[in-house]
Chains A and B, each alone.
Chain A
Amino acid sequence: MDIIYTIWLRNMIRYMRSKSRIIGSISMPLFFLLFLGFGLNSVVNIPGFGENYIQFLIPGMVAMSVLFTSVFSGIQIIWDKQFGFLKETLVAPVTRLEIMLGQTFGGATTAVIQGIMIMVISLFVGLKVQSILGFLIALGFMVLIGISFTAFGIAIASRMEDMTGFQLIMNFVIFPIFGLSGALFPISSLPSWLSPITMFDPLTYGVEGIRYGLTGVSQISPVVSLAVIGGFACAMTVVGTFLFRKISI
């Protein structure tokens, strides 16, 4: 436990120092929120939300912020590999599981903080938190998304030699996961051949869970969402740990 905390702590210190990273990674979901939200607010009519697209969009943007930050945090292990710091950790008398878990919790924590920032900003553009419980539910889903995708990032980083493949992963894996998740539009509005695909996207359940927490309305039952994203988080942690154990430097 103390080792997991140590690695988590290092992640936090680094995060607090990287002002540009903090601002950089909230800017994208923020701009999406403002441009799409205000731009389409009066044009789009979503069942259950009426002519209030921005309300629908906010949970999606919170999820987006958590998703991108956590994948990025996981993949950062490549930098530790390249700058040699990973060696320092790997020759210490600690297990790789501890390192992996510390890194995962560290990444998930920064991702959730980024998500909360978007949530706070959203209060100024129309977010009305229904209840404390609703907020906690949303927070729980954010944590699960954070854990899932940090572990996913670590898994990928364990197999990558350098950052050259990073853009590829972002464009062909992470962006589709985001786009198909129902963060931007209700999944029921997709053509019938496409909607089954969204059901295979784990983020769909994360977004729906956050949406349930923040607005009280969701298309998927929150219990189902919890089961799927919770299961995905566990699976990713196992896969990430497995691949991280085989990392060689």
Chain B
Amino acid sequence: MTTAIVVKDLTKRFNDLVAVNHISFEIQQGEIFGLLGPNGAGKTTTLSMLATMQQPTSGFATVQGKDIEKDQDGVRKAIGIVFQDQSLDEELTAAENMDFHGRLYRIPPQIRRERIDELLHLVELHERKNDIVKTFSGGMRRRLEIARGLLHHPSVLFLDEPTLGLDPQTRNHLWQYIAALSKEKNISIILTTHYMEEADRLCDRIAIIDHGTIIALDTPENLKDGIGGDIITITTPEFEKASTILVEPWINRLEIYKEEVRISLQNAEQHISEIITILNQHQITIASVSIHKPTLEDVFLSYTGKKIREEEGDKKEMMRKHLRMRRH
């Protein structure tokens, strides 16, 4: 396997805000790599730097061996990108949008026409190829953008929140496309998302990123295994007392989150009655109990002490959002 992307100590500052803080990782050819984190964590900034849209403050990165600062054109030719916000010309038809892109990348007319047909079939938009994009739904636009991003046969595809704002059905559809694409064409895909399920379903490896720093990087399976098995969540007003009495050798870890006691352990089903018995003996009222297999949400929670969605509405987050809007 060859290496498609190398990132080393990449940093981006906006005045006194460090958006991306010394991140390093490598992506192999054909791999789907996810940057998972809350809004404002630095995912889009990282992608923008790799796509030569923003200059890093320090550090360095290469895409297909090309330096993102010294060989911008080389990088641009090697990558396809689907932005978080729409970037189609709504006044043009689907085919015209594709054609414009093909011309910009200097694809010869004959090949251009063939590929446009092929890709529009792939994303199931061929019947609408001569319709103005303005009449397209959100999902159709996304699919068109992905098709357009592939037109010049990039070896690396950047997807920034590819399924943001789409309905579950379209989202599922897109996931299938993306997975099939990377397999068939051996394209490396780097995608950002704040949907846990998306990262879990699609990615070969995931970097969890928060406040500009990578806090964990591994396969989804390893990340989930790393937090110590199944999770039992007990909601109780006496959560502190509960946490002190639950000391058993089979408990791998125990965390308090709001009014919940979260216990990680193997074979949760076998131990649940024991736990309830212990709590009853100490006369602790239990509001609810649940068992689930660990998800990436649990991984994020265990690393950061918060859930991914809580970030929204946070003060720092607002500032970042504001900054991002200004940059658009």
Binding site for B on A (CB under 8 A): 2-3, 6, 9-10, 13-14, 17-18, 83-85, 87-94, 248-249
Kindly identify which residue among B91, B103, B106 contacts A17, using a CB–CB cutoff of 8 Å: B91
23 contacts between A and B (CB under 8 A): A3-B104, A6-B100, A6-B104, A10-B89, A10-B96, A13-B91, A14-B89, A83-B86, A83-B90, A84-B85, A84-B87, A87-B53, A87-B83, A88-B88, A90-B53, A91-B79, A92-B101, A92-B104, A92-B105, A93-B76, A94-B104, A249-B327, A249-B328
B73 at interface (Cβ–Cβ under 8 A)?
yes
Contact status of A85 and B87, CB under 8 A, knowing A92-B76, A93-B77: yes
Chain A residues with Cβ below 8 Å from B87 are: 83-85, 87-88
A84-B88, A88-B88, A93-B73 known; 4 new pairs, CB 8 Å cut-off, are A87-B53, A88-B87, A89-B104, A94-B104
Residues of B within 8 A of A249 (CB): 53, 327-328
Smallest CB separation, A70 vs chain B (Å): 19
Cβ of A3: which chain B residues have Cβ within 8 Å of it? 103-104, 106
- In contact, A10 and B85 (Cβ under 8 angstroms): no
- A17-B91, A93-B77 as given contacts; A88 in contact with B101, CB under 8 Å: yes
B103 x A6 contact (CB < 8 A)? yes
Chain B residue contacts of A92, Cβ below 8 A: 76, 101, 104-105
CB distance from A181 to the nearest CB of B (A): 32
With A and B bound together, what is the CA distance between A13 and B91 in angstroms? 9
Question: Dominant SS at the B interface?
Answer: loop
Q: Contacts A13-B96, A87-B83 known; A18 to B91 CB distance under 8 Å? A: yes
Q: How far is the CA of A18 from the CA of B87 in the complex (A)?
A: 20
- A7 CA to B103 CA, complexed, in Å: 9
Q: Is B92 an interface residue, CB under 8 A from the partner?
A: yes
With A and B bound together, what is the CA distance between A248 and B326 in angstroms?
10
Cβ contacts B63-102/A at 8 Å (1 or 0 each): 0000000000100110101010111111110001000110
Complex: A83 Cα to B141 Cα, angstroms: 13
CA A85 to CA B106, docked complex, whole Å: 18
Mask, B25-43, CB within 8 Å of A = 1, is 0000000000000000000
Who on chain A is nearest to B75 by CB?
A93
- Least Cβ distance of A18 to chain B in Å? 7
Contact A91 B52, CB 8 Å, known A13-B92, A83-B86, A84-B86: yes
Interfacial chain B residues near A14, Cβ < 8 Å: 89, 91-92
Q: Chain A contacts of B83 at CB under 8 A?
A: 84, 87-88
B106: nearest chain-A partner, CB-CB:
A2
What is the CB-to-nearest-CB distance from B54 to chain A, in angstroms, rounded to a whole number? 8
A3 to B106 Cα, complex, angstroms: 8
In the bound complex, CA of A7 to CA of B283 (Å) = 75
Interface positions, chain B 276-317, Cβ under 8 Å from A, are none
CA distance A14 to B134 in the complex (A): 13
Please report the C-alpha to C-alpha distance between residue A92 and residue B73 in the assembled complex, in whole angstroms: 8
Is A85 within 8 A of B105, CB to CB?
A: no
